[in-house]
Structure 1
Amino acid sequence: MTISADREQRPSLPIVDHARGKRSPVTCRLKCADACLGPECNTSQNVSFRSVVQTAFSRRALLGGAAAGALAIASTSVDRPAPALAAPATTGLPFDPIAPVDASVDSFVVPAGYTWAPLIRWGDPVLAGAPVFHLAAQSPAAQAMQFGYNNDYLDILVDEGGLTGVLVANHEYVNPGIMFPPSSDAAELRRRGEIYKAAQGMSVVEVVRDAPGAPWRTVPGGRRNRRITVETPFALTGPAAGSALLRTAADPEGRTVLGTLGNCAGGTTPWGTVLSGEENVNGYFSAPADSPERARYGFAQRPTSTGWETWDPRFDGTAAGFENEANRFGYIVEIDPSDPTSTPVKHTAMGRFKHEGANVTIAEDGRVVAYMGDDERGDYLYKFVSKHRVNRGRGPGARRANLRLLSEGDLFVARFTGDSPAAEIDGSGRLPQDGAFDGSGEWIALTRDGRSAVPGMTVEQVLVHTRLAADLVGATKMDRCEDVEPHPTTGRVYIACTNNTRRGIDAPVDEANPRLANRDGHVIELVESHGQAGARFVWSILLLCGDPSGAALTYFAGFPPAMVSPISCPDNVAFDSEGNLWISTDGAPSTIRKNDGLFKVPLEGPDRCRVQQFLSVPRDAETCGPVIRAQEGMVLVAVQHPGEDGTVDAPTSLFPDYGSTEPGAVRAPRPSVVQVWRD
């Protein structure tokens, strides 16, 4: 549903090729402005990585013994004996995997021995004075004090003592069609547009519990509670702050931006702040693709789903004085959840693209390293290395210093090289003769010491038009790098490549993206060769996702495919205290229509890559933001866009209230944070 008087009804959205499996074309329209419908906006002629370095010798010869040892860790033998069918042992979260749930089922399903409940729902009170939610009584003022819509990234920062903390969640986008009934009244549509502004951004909510492992409860009106919206001031940091590329009529200095948009995944820093990725920001602007810069980011002059461009010049790409407004979105933002009065920031030093999120680790030399994916077909994997080292002190001075770490540093983009002959990468997903899709790679500098490392571009151009800079240096086109996270103990990096149905059309297959029409996605395991601030790495594909019983070839690092849960479209990843990888999904295998879920993937021992489904989310929903607390027997997830295909009058989901009569319950789908705990 859109919000102008002549287009109040939702446009016809037929099931098209890219939406096979489960994902709704409504989601594609609202969330990413149909990014998958047309050709890639990356029209650069980057050659495949095999042509960059077609090596006839082994990666061990290329990188030396240290790197070979690292790769050996990452590439467990594929010839292990088949394990027993019993569920593997685990100390905190033992469970028998659930069966996939049909996509028509509107249920939240957990394993036997576990209970689930919503922790906070769209519209629940956050700030003091927030009213109880009523679907028919929404207002901009109420929504600005209530939990926002379509929660994505999620974390709970637990205070010392373990019984209190603060929940932080992103709110990625809105669905007008299931928030309101149709209308053609101009004043009413504008009022709704203000609600959409208040429903996006981020929420910070204090939580309490009775004992470690017990369910959390929110604290409406808590001291640290906060709503960040499309009108919240953000400070720009880094080399591009103040650039002419970022100045507008409302901000002639180019240093203060109102709001954050498209907040998808994120990360929590060692110094207690939360990072959020601004992803599909082009869908919020009606802006002609009248320059290579705009075209490369997917902008188009068409009506948006929010309608803001009809009355707010910030979102009209033709409005005088606001031509640069779109350049002010697409960054990693950082908020301090401990201080509700602090000004959140956007870090230009980390580049501008469709950030899924950013996840940081501390390198051996004390510098901070952030890994980032650009979530679009044919775009790239990035790494940021801070200029300064983390301050390990405990006082306020140390924290102030760490809050500046992401403002200065070097930005890199990845180039992958395979080690198999071209004839062995045929697009089917069949393994090459050496038994693995693997190889080496390098991090190519885009900035160095605050200066551009790309000939012909200034540092401001590199950081505002980062995709164009990465095109020029020959980065590897990937199948939608989404969440990219370093393992907390091994340092290995896991890259969720969600899918690319046009692989083989817009870009040829290669060893890092080895399947034609890659509907089901894959996960890459990367090992830095010379420390996490280094310039070389080795890699191997951990999972080729899909339904093992289907026609498409799948791969689970050698684990017998008949003994795994089918998994597709890996989106967010997380780790538990036992070192296991957990994957939330945004799409079902192309051969079956099942609801999305959360999956456990052991990384060590005989059960390495034995994929096991832990939970399933309701009809039309996506699983986001997993938080795994195995030592407490607890899991939290963000359930995004349940009932996306419905309307107010004919909802397709009633999650999570399901007819409850408690205050604030409604007969409509509500994006929510859900907690699951052992009985």
Structure 2
Amino acid sequence: MANPSSRRLPILPLLPPVGGRDAMTCRFRCGDACAHEVANTSGNPYFQDLLPAVISRRGALRAGALGAVVATAAVTGAVPAAADPAPSGAGGRGPGPGHGPRGLAFTPVPPNSLDALTVADGYRSAVVVRWGDPVLPDAPAFDFENQSAAAQAAQFGYNCDFVTFFPLGDDRGLLWVNHEYTDENLMFRGYTNGDTAPLEQIAIAMAAHGGSVVELERAGRTGQWKLVTRGRRRYNRRVTVRTKMRLTGPAAGSALLSTAADPRGTTVHGMLNNCAGGTTPWNTVLSGEENWNQYFVGGDGVPEAQKPYLTRYGVSTTAAVPSGSRRFDRVEERFDLAKHPNEINRFGWIVEIDPFDPQSTPIKRTALGRLAHEGATTTLAKDGRVVAYMGDDSRFEYIYKFVSKDRHIPGFDRHNRSLLDEGTLYVATFTGDSPGQIDGAGTLPADGRFDGTGAWIPLVSGDRSFVEGMTAAEVLVYTRVAADKAGATKMDRPEDIERNPVNGAVCVALTNNTARTAAQADEANPRAANRHGQILEIVERRDDAAATTFTWSLPLVCGDPADPSTYFAGFDKTKVSPISCPDNVTFDADGNLWISTDGNALGKNDGLFAMPLSGPDRGHVRQFLTVPYGAETCGPLITEDQKSVFVAVQHPGEITGATPDTPASHWPDGGTSQPRPSVAVAWHPQGKKIGS
């Protein structure tokens, strides 16, 4: 339960423009993306009445040996079957092979606005690692009043998001954490804006981005994990905006990725705004760059031919310095597009990091496309090819899938580490089965379900483009434009994507979309002015991750259960927890879906929720924990033994009006301390499985 000393804090002014997210979060996290015009102005239908035969007629696709001519009859009768077993030794993102249905039996946490991490009765929680904690052996202790870029580059970074865990035996393990963005208003006293901030503050913020690898040890025989603070810690690592990385895959070396500093177009420094991610069967991390567009200035000075592509990715081409810019260009000129117009093309990728080799060079895999990346969840197709699912987190953007050309070979590391460099990148289209029945109010169709069929449309395979008028490199660098031309279905902010270890179904968090109108509503996105979001479940044909057709349904349409526009898979809505704005998702080994939220539009703190997807409890949403005031729940991750759940507590106290002199949160250290984004772990003291 909450710490007895927890107290309610005053609500500071200004409601957020989208969902329940505060305006300060909107500014620093995504550059007020939702205050700008929607970047997707394509004529793609919001609702597909037929599978997209029209795409081939437009010439956007060419039929080929891929067997991707999917403009045929609708898919029918796909039933979930047993999932492919996870590769032996796969990393700790998920719990491995599924065990089958297991009931959840905890008492839900009531919605609250406490400045505390509150867990279900009987469970305990503790902070694992905080912003500023030493990561590298020579890192100094954190001192809020005396920060430096050199210290931050060796300390745990700022806002933590994607979390994954790699066991090193029973009692040790490696934790990888993304550091998505910085909030300079909360990091520094007297911060005003990037135009006038001291250069050292900007350099500190740059070093606080990226990611961390830290070694953990189990506390006794419990589900609690602690940071290893002694000894060599040979795996510990910081990745920042300045870390050298390689570009690989079909777009690497293209003119679009060439700069004055790197004319070959194969080397880039750093990663930006990394949100969700995944792991590979060969035990590496996949980290997705999301709102990277906000870090650049000078869009007004790029060549005219480039401006439509910048606009499609939400970059201003009319302002020399967009409002609210962090001004990284004041420290490193490469962030000024007027001087280095191609530098931006080197961001927006899935980055692969080896957590076991701190000297290894991270790799940006261009074959997976360039988006506002959310997730990169991998699995194996029935023939052994590697499949990665990805979302593009913005209003009216798309869902993608990559299927490798070659097969995974267990134990053949050198071969496997090239699999993400060649394959086919697809984008999804969705068709509802209740035409004329979706009015934007969230009313269930006559068949009692939001469901239908869909298809994966190929965009590019290796050096071969399937999009008319675009080369393979152009498809991969300007993936949104290619997906527009392919007729992809516009979705409500596709975020994290995970595959059910029990039945192989794929679940997608669609966070919200207040810009959707009633005329734009469709069966997969059934509400206008959607503040609360929904969960999408995809079942691919023959339970094969490489299939190009699927069925889909919405098991959860979020919001207040008393709201008639909500849907909990038909479960009794008087018995469920209210839930708003699903963000990151994960599964336990029994196939229960765990959902973390971002921007609860119901007026309470964000949290972590569990929902069975099979059996009589399908749709029974229960809140397992809440995060502190002003924070967002990220991660989450349930360990393979199901005795621990990690959550990343992002931006505690990020409330308009808050500053270091007037903080809105004192979590995690309490008293009069400054809020510090942190990773926490929850467990049951009797060793019970999480949620049981």
Query: What one-letter code is carried by the residue in structure 1 that aligns with 2:253?
Result: G
Q: Which runs of 5+ in 1 are unaligned?
A: 1-12, 75-88, 660-665
After superposition, the Cα gap between the structure-2 partners of 1:518 and 1:351, relative to the gap in structure 1 and judged at 3 Å, is same
Output the TM-score relative to the length of structure 2: 0.87
Q: Distance between the aligned counterparts of 1:303 and 1:193, measured in 2? A: 16
Asked if residue 117 in structure 1 is aligned to residue 160 in structure 2, the reply is: no
- Structure 2 CA distance for aligned equivalents of residues 672 and 504 of structure 1: 37
Superposition pairs of residues 397-546 of structure 1, within 5 angstroms: 398-422=412-436, 424-504=437-517, 508-530=520-542, 531-546=544-559
For residue 448 of structure 1, report the CA deviation from its aligned partner: 2.3
Match of 2:3 in 1: none
Q: Distance in 2 between matches of 1:130 and 1:94?
A: 43
RMSD of aligned residue pairs (Cα, Å)? 2.4
Aligned counterpart for 2:254 among listed residues 220, 243, 263 = 243
SS in structure 1 of the partner of residue 275 of structure 2: strand
Q: SS at 1:524's partner residue?
A: strand
Distance 1:236 1:303, change over 3 A: same
1:629 Cα deviation from its structure 2 partner: 3.3
- Paired residue for 2:44, among 46, 55, 59? 46
The one of 675, 678, 691 equivalent to 1:669 is: 675
Tell me what 1:272 maps to: 283
* Paired residue type of 2:291: N
Alignment partner, residue 94 of structure 2: none
Inter-partner Cα distance in structure 2 for 1:334 and 1:50: 35
Within-5 A mapping of 1:225-374:
225-288=236-299, 291-300=307-316, 301=319, 302-319=322-339, 322-374=340-392
Contact 1:18 1:501 in 2 (8 A): no
Consecutive unaligned residues of structure 2, counting only runs of 5 or more, are 1-11, 54-69, 84-99, 686-692
Cα distance in 1 for residues equivalent to 2:268 and 2:103: 44
* Cα distance in structure 2, aligned partners of 1:381 and 1:602: 24
Secondary structure, counterpart of 2:48 in structure 1: helix
Cα distance in 2 between the residues matched to 1:151 and 1:48 = 33
Match of 1:19 in 2: 18
Alpha-carbon distance in 2 for matches of 1:70, 1:363: 17
- The 5-angstrom pairing of residues 616-631 of structure 1 reads 616-629=626-639, 631=641
CA apart distance, 1:403: 1.5
SS in 2 for 1:294: helix
Instruction: Check the 8 A contact 2:40/2:312 in 1, yes or no.
Output: yes
Q: Which moved more, 1:284-293 or 1:514-523?
A: 284-293
Contact 1:128 1:222 in 2 (8 A): yes
**2:181 pairs with 1:173:** yes
Instruction: Please tell me the residue identity of whatever aligns with 1:619.
Output: Y
Distance in 1 (alpha carbons) for counterparts of 2:479 and 2:374: 15
Contact 1:284 1:304 in 2 (8 A): no
Is residue 200 of structure 1 aligned with residue 205 of structure 2? no
In structure 2, do the counterparts of structure 1 residues 94 and 222 end up closer, same or farther at CA, with 3 Å as the change threshold? farther
Following superposition, the deviation at residue 498 of structure 1 comes to: 0.2
Secondary structure, counterpart of 2:198 in structure 1? helix
Q: Distance in 1 between matches of 2:196 and 2:392?
A: 37
Matched, 1:576 2:588: yes
Match of 1:84 in 2: none
How far did residue 71 of structure 1 move?
A: 7.0
Choose 264-273 or 307-316, whichever is displaced more: 307-316
1:658 match = 670
SS class of match (2:277): strand
Aligned-partner Cα distance in 2 for 1:634–1:216:
8
Q: Which moved more, 1:411-420 or 1:305-314?
A: 305-314
How many angstroms does 1:635 deviate by? 1.2
Q: Deviations over 1:389-411 (max 9, x none)?
A: 11112xxxx12222211111110
1:73 CA drift (Å): 11
SS at match of 1:50: coil
2:72 aligned with 1:70 = no
Shift of 1:640: 0.2
Q: Deviations over 1:580-612 (max 9, x none)?
A: 1000000224xx310000000111111011000
- CA gap of 1:54–1:279, structure 2 versus 1, over 3 A, is closer
| Whole-angstrom CA distance in 1 between matches of 2:642 and 2:553 | 32
Query: Quick check: 2:660–2:674 contact (8 Å CA) kept in 1?
Result: yes
1:254 partner SS: coil
Give, as a single letter, the amino acid of the residue that structure 2 aligns with 1:519.
R
Change (3 A) 1:165 1:48: same
Is the Cα–Cα contact under 8 Å of residues 49 and 432 in structure 2 kept in the other structure? no
| Change in CA separation of 1:553 and 1:303 when aligned onto 2, cut-off 3 Å | closer
Distance 2:482 2:615 in 1: 41
Task: Return closer, same or farther for 1:178/1:471 CA change in 2, 3 Å cut-off.
Answer: same
The structure 2 residue matched to 1:609, chosen from 610, 616, 619, is: 619
Q: Distance in 1 between matches of 2:477 and 2:395?
A: 20
Q: Percent identity?
A: 53
Deviation at 1:305, TM superposition (A): 3.8
Shift of 1:181: 1.1
Change (3 A) 1:475 1:311: same
For residues 350 and 289 of structure 2, what CA distance do their matches in structure 1 show? Answer: 6
Deviations 1:507-543 (A, max 9, x none): 7111111101011000011011142111111101111
Deviations 1:349-382 (A, max 9, x none): 0000100121000010000000000000011000
- Residue 158 of structure 2 contacts residue 181 of structure 2 at CA under 8 Å; is this kept in 1? yes
Corresponding residue number in structure 2 for 1:663: none
| Residues 329-338 or 482-491, more deviating | 482-491
The 8 Å contact of residues 185 and 191 in structure 2, kept in 1 or not, is answered as no
Equivalent AA in structure 1 for residue 40 of structure 2? N
Residues 223 and 643 of structure 2 are in contact (CA less than 8 Å); yes or no, is this contact kept in structure 1? no
Distance in structure 2 (CA, Å) of the matches to 1:131 and 1:634: 29
8 A contact 2:630–2:653 mirrored in 1: yes
Q: For residue 106 of structure 1, report the CA deviation from its aligned partner.
A: 1.0
Distance in 2 between the 1:352 and 1:234 partners?
A: 16
> What is the DSSP-based 3-state SS (H/G/I as helix, E as strand, rest coil) of the residue aligned with 2:414?
helix
CA–CA distance in 2 between the matches of 1:129 and 1:629?
30
**CA deviation profile, 1:608-655 (whole Å, cap 9, x unmatched):** 110000000001100000111384432110000001121010000001
**Matched residues in 1 for 2:368 and 2:521: separation?**
29
Offset, 1:488 = 1.9
Q: CA 1:242–1:449 in structure 2 vs 1: closer, same or farther (change >3 Å)?
A: closer
Residues 634, 90 of structure 1: alpha-carbon distance in 2 compared, 3 angstrom cutoff: farther
Q: Which structure 2 residues correspond to residues 378-393 of structure 1 after superposition, within 5 A?
A: 378-393=396-411
How far apart are the structure 2 equivalents of 1:520 and 1:261? Answer: 27
CA contact (8 A) 1:360 1:368 kept: yes
How many residue pairs get matched?
Answer: 626
**What SS does structure 2 have at the residue aligned with 1:356?**
strand
Matching residue's letter, 1:408? E
Give 1:81's aligned residue.
Answer: none
Q: Distance in 2 between matches of 1:47 and 1:36?
A: 21
